[in-house]
Each structure stands twice: as C-alpha cells, then as structure tokens.
Amino acid sequence: MAPLTLYTFARSAPCRAVVLVCRNLNLDIELKEVNLFEKAQLSADYLKVNPQHTVPCLDDNGFILWESRAITEYLVESKAKGSPLYPIDDLKKKALVNQRLYFDAGTLYPRIRAICFPVLFLGEKKIAEDKRKQLAEAFEFLNTFIGEHKWVCGDDLTIADLSILASISSIVQVGADISGYKNLAKWYENCKSLPGFAENEAGAKLFGDAVKSKLDDKL
C-alpha cells in the first residue's frame, strides 16, 4: 500500500492532531512541510492540491481531504475500522467523541487562536484579560468533562483526546498553567505515554517559542 501523504506544519495544532492519530494507529505516512510563516500554502503547486490553502491536508492515493477532524475520522474508519479511537459501532460513544471534537473545534481551539493569532500576525504585545478568562473557562469545561476518567470520553483513548492534546500542548508551551485543574493536569500526564507525544511537544514548543518571542507579558 502506498504511504499516506500529509501536508503539514509542525507548529500547527490541527496538523499535529492528525500526526498523533497516525502514530497511534501505526500508519505509514509521509509528511510534507508547508511553512505557513513563509506563505508556502499560497504557492501555485499547493493551491492545486488544496484550493482553500489550509493545512493539514491528506493525500490518500489521490483522495484529497482537509480539515483535521474530518481527516482523523477518515483515517480510523478507512485504515483501522473497529479501533476504539473512533467507535463507529457504538452510537452513543461515537456521539460523545464527536461532541468533544466539536468542543475543541468550536470552543477550545478558537480561544487559543484568539490569544495567539494577533500576537503572531497583528503585532499585539499583550493578552487582554477577557481572553484570559475565556481560556480559563475552556479549561474548566474540559476539567469537568474528564472528571474521574482517564480520557476525555471515558476510559478509552479516542481521537478527541489527540485533537485536544494538540491544542492544549500549544497553549501550555505559550505559558498557560493547567496545574490548577486537577483532572486536566492528570489527563495531560496520561498523554505523555502516548505514541507521538514527544513529536507533538516539539512542534508545540516551536509554536510557543514563536508566540512568546513577540509577547511583552506572560500568559
């Protein structure tokens, strides 16, 4: 079987989420770096692959798919059907995984982006108090979701954990302190034993260092 190709950017949390899923499924994948800081996503060659010029973008033997959460669902269903990472045969478990993915997509990651994007690209040097409060609220939600469980959907690792890990690790590397959220902190410790964790942390650190280099205050 030809290896999968993933157009990626190591500093990007959504890209690292897909890589984490690949590592946890032990999939053979070729990574092609698209440097967003150098606007490589706007090159003529890349626009032929993905006219929306976003990463990550998957090429599975000519089948092109972008949007990280769509990619991770596709990877489990097409390459590892039956894996508990995305329990498609249990409607309620699958719905819960989807809810957590949508939480990441609609709440957690946008609040992280609202802090970091203006710093990286719009010249902001300080983080507004309301953005800090919104991030803290997202942490509290996640802390509640996890509760006494090992993972965000219960006792089994899922793609929701890997997507959320990519997001959380990014803002931790910017300087966020999650130690005050007992369940979230415990979950993060559990994640450290996962395949691909160190690789993800390396990319998150690159992202965090880029943000911190432009900030006048701490998160």
Give the separation between CA 85 and CA 77, rounded to whole angstroms. 10
Per the residue annotation, which of 12, 83, 163, 170 is the catalytic one?
12
Q: What's the token pair of residue 76?
A: 């489990």
Phi, psi (5° rounding) for residue 181? -110, 95
12 assigned to active site: yes
Q: Angle between the 159-174 and 109-121 helix axes, to the nearest 10 degrees?
A: 40
* Contact assessment for residue 208 and residue 175, using Cβ atoms and an 8 Å cutoff: yes
Please, what's the b/e burial string for 33-42 (b: 16 or more CB within 10 A of its CB; e: otherwise)?
Answer: ebebeeebbe
CA 89 to chain centre: 24
**Cα diameter, the chain:** 51
Bond from prior residue into 87 cis (ω within 30 degrees of 0): no
Burial class (CB in 10 A: 0-12, 13-18, 19+), 182: exposed
How many other C-beta atoms are found inside a 10 Å radius of the C-beta of residue 61?
9
- Which residue numbers are catalytic? 12
